[in-house]
A and B are shown apart, each in its own frame.
Chain A
């Protein structure tokens, strides 16, 4: 039996055009033969859908005809929820209001310009140190005296921390503001060991301090892996810093965004874009080749995402200015960079031993 014939039989069956006898025979066939049965069902469904589709089209036409008789426009006017007078005022007069506002804005800006409001460069600095708050400090001195009475060992509480990095076997550089007004200063290495240091030399104007490790338990560092770059670095250079913004060194990656610091008169600082936290102060600013190009030092409050680093040239000058009598011999700086060819991950591994947490008591 061909499909063509089958369809004809199915249609006769569905339309009830079969005789009683034929019908019983066909139903029997349907039961026995699954293929026939599903063909019947499929056709019934498809024909039904076609019919329903036609009914839907017809109903839509009827509804459209009814819709024609409704005055939608008038209804719409009535039913729109009218916004408050202030919104209406804006809708009707927004061009005029905008012009007026622009003029006012222009006048204000001009006046500010003429009166020199824009030349005010007193941007506020927030020092990047972790300052345990004052209450805590008084609490802590109380604690300390209590402990002294009990003849306990030194209290592991410090009021500020910053970061420092080695410039040779026993000298460490950090920010002046980190160690300013300190009673005693310790540095802690990556292994968590603390060593007493003494402040060897400071340059408050450039916020540089050089510390000397005086602890007897300290064994001299091996040669530092980085070199110090005197030449200026260029805008857009990829840079990173390692700093003790928490108890272990934290990597911050970014780029140099300006050759000048707060404004064009500030040639001491680079402006950098690196995510930073308190405690980063005094950390090294390192370029991709492993050159120290600056000392991270402060965070500005008024510019989003702007941080600053003291250019390495000023650091070199400071090292040069250390009075000869406070040193056994002249500071000799490393000239051989062993980081240059390494990936950043390997660089950081090597750097870890030369970066210290500076703890101030």
Chain B
């Protein structure tokens, strides 16, 4: 049953250094190396390839954030870590969809990773709220918020882009937009 997967995987420390240095190629090698393993897990446990993509990307994000936050200690193989996170996430998803039959077919060893998955879920909920709030905010507020808070553009640039007559007007507009965004964000349950 357990087919060995043979792909040239990057070494674990290569991956971690790569993520820390924002290396696109390291991310890509990581992604390609372990996707088949996760695909195998999901499609043999009531899922399809789109589920596998979702779950796998979530797990990569969990790993990525953990490495970036600087608290990733390599206590097991990276492969085992990714598998464990995917397994946990998939079990959770199956339960939510009422598709979980109480049994999962495993292909790898795994570790308990409940805390990390919980943390990730909490953050995901916040991001979902932010996405909704930004969508509800509408233009031009959305672009002003993105330009100022995400791309760190100066008020001067923003002023020119939106054709405000002076920087004070732009600032007032930005202030109003931010207040609305906060309101939209916090009133979501």
Contact = CB atoms under 8 A, between A and B. Distances in A.
A3 to B, nearest CB: 8
B64 interface: yes
For the complex, would chain B's binding face be called helix, strand, loop or mixed by DSSP majority?
helix
A54 interface: yes
Contact of A54 (B31, B57, B150): B150
B122 to A, nearest CB: 12
A62 interface: yes
Interface residues on A, range: 20 to 34
Contacts of B189: none
A79 B107 CA distance: 11
Contacts of B36: 75, 78-79
Contacts of B3: 78-79
Contacts of B127: 49, 52-53, 56
A70 interface: yes
Interface string B26-64: 011001100110011001100001001100010011001
Nearest to B124: A56
A53 B130 contact: yes
Contacts of A64: 57
A56 B31 contact: no
Given A49-B130, A75-B39, A80-B43, A56 B150 contact: no
A83 to B, nearest CB: 10
Interface stretch (B71-79, B87-95, B170-178): B170-178
Interface residues on B, range: 35 or more
A76 B47 CA distance: 11
Interface in B159-185: 171-172, 175, 178, 182, 185
B175 to A, nearest CB: 5
Nearest to B126: A49
B119 interface: no
A66 B44 contact: no
- Residue of A51, A56, A80 with most partner-chain B CB within 10 A: A56
Interface string A57-78: 0011011101101101101101
Given A51-B149, A75-B35, 6 more contacts: A8-B171, A50-B130, A53-B131, A62-B24, A70-B32, A80-B43
Interface of A: 4, 7-8, 46-47, 49-54, 56, 59-60, 62-64, 66-67, 69-70, 72-73, 75-76, 78-81
Interface of B: 1, 3, 24, 27-28, 31-32, 35-36, 39-40, 43-44, 49, 52-53, 57, 60-61, 64, 105, 123, 126-127, 130-131, 145-146, 149-150, 171-172, 175, 178, 182, 185
7 contacts: A8-B171, A50-B130, A56-B127, A66-B28, A70-B35, A79-B40, A80-B43
